């Protein structure tokens, strides 16, 4: 048993050491007293970073800067409530998606919140949407969405289920929140306002705090919202393609993995941000 857990622990440890060596600012945790965190670790994932600006080519407002700023504000708000906070990145560096999920999965009693902003080629596309994948993530998604979308003047695009990498590969309640469209002039102006970003962070934190206590009242309506969206488009596209070939589940999974490797030069998340945009029409 000991050998087994060592075998699992070592790759994670070496991964983390390598990661920490490459970026001394990342994966820092902080803790303070006097709040309601009660031992929960919140892994905050600022989308994109480094050469990956996020969004679409030619986009004026850089997504990676906005996500990092909101993530840092969220960290401060949660740390003040006695949550243990871990950042997958705390500076302008590129962190592979696999490293982000490995960091998250190395903590027990954790929840994962990925912060993004949306983009679309159509300037009119607007609104806030929140994604989850596993069932256990829905209360957290509903609570976060309730406070973020409820506190913003933007359109409410709802809680949606989709198999984004960071949602599928994290073994804890995991949510990805798209805090508005940076390609929409109005929402881009909001995002560039520090007090608005603070409000976004406080909305996410309010959702984190209330995910258990009032989750049932959100999920009564929000489950319905999520269920009314056709599930097929929100499941990983490569997985859907594989199952069409009527192979066994195991070989289908293998081919998914192979496909993932082939396309791994482009971060899945980057495509996700674009793919999730401008879909209402
Ligand atoms: Zn993004």
Q: How far is the CA of 93 from the centre of ligand 1 (A)?
A: 14
Asked if 216 and 242 sit in the same domain, the reply is no
Mean pLDDT for the stretch of residues 156-162: 97
Mean pLDDT for the stretch of residues 9-27: 43
- What lies within 8 Å, CB to CB, of 158 at 6+ separation is 129, 130, 145, 225, 226, 229
Q: How far is the CA of 39 from the centre of ligand 1 (A)?
A: 29
- What lies within 8 Å, CB to CB, of 7 at 6+ separation is none
Q: How far is the CA of 100 from the centre of ligand 1 (A)?
A: 14
Residue 251 CA: distances (Å) to CA of 98, 236, 242, 248 = 22, 16, 9, 6
pLDDT of residue 220 exceeding 70, the answer is no
Asked if 60 and 131 sit in the same domain, the reply is yes
- Residues 77-92: pLDDT tens digits? 999 999 999 999 999 9
Kindly list the protein residues that place their beta carbon closer than 5 angstroms to ligand 1, a single-atom ion.
47, 54, 116, 273
Q: Is residue 135 part of a domain?
A: yes
Asked if 259 and 195 sit in the same domain, the reply is no
Q: Is residue 179 part of a domain?
A: yes
Q: How far is the CA of 249 from the centre of ligand 1 (A)?
A: 30
- pLDDT band of residue 147 (cuts 50, 70, 90) is very high
Q: How far is the CA of 3 from the centre of ligand 1 (A)?
A: 39
Asked if 43 and 144 sit in the same domain, the reply is yes
Q: Token pair of 18, please?
A: 């390598």
Asked if 38 and 174 sit in the same domain, the reply is yes
Domain range for 69 is: 2-230
State the burial class of residue 62 (Cβ atoms within 10 Å of its Cβ: 0-12, 13-18, 19+). Answer: middle
Asked if 144 and 260 sit in the same domain, the reply is no
Q: Is residue 100 part of a domain?
A: yes
Q: How far is the CA of 33 from the centre of ligand 1 (A)?
A: 32
Taking a C-beta distance cutoff of 8 angstroms, is the pair 77, 20 a contact? no
Asked if 128 and 258 sit in the same domain, the reply is no
Q: How far is the CA of 11 from the centre of ligand 1 (A)?
A: 28
């Amino acid at each position: 048993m000991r050998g087994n857990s060592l075998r699992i622990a070592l790759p994670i440890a070496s991964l983390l050491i390598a990661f920490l060596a490459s970026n001394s600012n990342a994966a820092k945790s902080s803790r303070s007293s006097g709040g309601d965190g009660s031992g929960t670790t919140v892994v905050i994932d600022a989308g994109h970073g480094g050469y990956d600006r996020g969004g679409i080519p030619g986009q004026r407002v850089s997504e990676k800067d906005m996500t990092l700023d909101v993530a840092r504000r969220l960290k401060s708000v949660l740390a003040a409530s006695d949550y243990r906070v871990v950042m997958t990145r705390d500076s302008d560096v590129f962190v592979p998606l696999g490293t982000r999920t490995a960091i998250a999965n190395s903590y027990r009693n954790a929840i994962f919140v990925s912060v993004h902003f949306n983009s679309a080629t159509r300037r009119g596309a607007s609104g806030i949407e929140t994604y989850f994948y596993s069932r256990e993530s829905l209360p957290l998604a509903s609570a976060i969405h309730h406070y973020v979308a409820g506190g913003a003047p933007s359109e409410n695009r709802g809680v949606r289920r989709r198999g984004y990498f960071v949602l599928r590969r994290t073994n804890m309640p995991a949510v990805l929140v798209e805090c508005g469209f940076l390609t929409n002039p109005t929402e881009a102006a909001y995002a560039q306002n520090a007090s608005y970003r603070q409000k976004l962070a406080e909305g996410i934190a309010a959702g984190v705090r209330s995910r258990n206590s009032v989750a049932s009242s959100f999920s009564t309506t929000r489950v319905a919202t999520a269920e009314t969206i056709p599930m097929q488009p929100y499941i990983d596209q490569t997985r859907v393609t594989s199952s069409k070939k009527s192979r066994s589940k195991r070989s289908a999974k293998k081919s998914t993995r192979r496909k993932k490797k082939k396309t791994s030069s482009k971060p899945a998340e980057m495509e996700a941000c674009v793919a999730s945009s401008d879909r209402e029409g």
